[in-house]
Amino acid sequence: KQEVTQIPAALSVPEGENLVLNCSFTDSAIYNLQWFRQDPGKGLTSLLLIQSSQREQTSGRLNASLDKSSGRSTLYIAASQPGDSATYLCALRGAGGTSYGKLTFGQGTILTVHP
């Protein structure tokens, strides 16, 4: 059974800092990995998707990496802004069998960027 862990559970940083959010998983047989952002009480916004054959993806100030062999992914946010404050979730799609089709989520990291 795939288990996804996100560390830290919460993070508070001053505006302008670069930061890294971590996601670890127990089963390396994944199809892809998505990073999402969730504002309080709202739905999920997809930030980046990394296919299992890729090592990283970039979008603006965001960079996500994937290391299947070690069961880890990181989300790097450059030059953080107060508007980046939200919960960040990583989710994996399994590569086949009973895992295929569904996303397995971590618990999320609550990020607060203060001015």
Partner 1 sequence: DAGVTQSPTHLIKTRGQQVTLRCSPKSGHDTVSWYQQALGQGPQFIFQYYEEEERQRGNFPDRFSGHQFPNYSSELNVNALLLGDSALYLCASSLISGTYEQYFGPGTRLTVT
Of these, 12, 18, 81, 107, which contacts partner 1 (CB under 8 A)? Answer: 107
Contact between 88 and partner 1 (CB under 8 A)?
Answer: no
Contact between 106 and partner 1 (CB under 8 A)?
Answer: yes
Contact between 102 and partner 1 (CB under 8 A)?
Answer: yes
Site for partner 1 in 37-66 (CB under 8 A): 41-46, 49, 51
Contact between 2 and partner 1 (CB under 8 A)?
Answer: no
DSSP collapsed to 3 states, 5-51: EEECCEEEEECCCCEEEEEEECCCCEEEEEEEEECCCCCEEEEEEEE
Q: What's the length of the chain?
A: 115
Cβ-Cβ contacts under 8 Å for 70 (sequence gap 6 or more): none
Determine the Cα–Cα distance for residues 109 and 112; give it in Å rounded to an integer: 10
Binding site for partner 1 (CB under 8 A): 4, 31-32, 34, 36, 41-46, 49, 51, 89, 91, 93, 98, 100-108
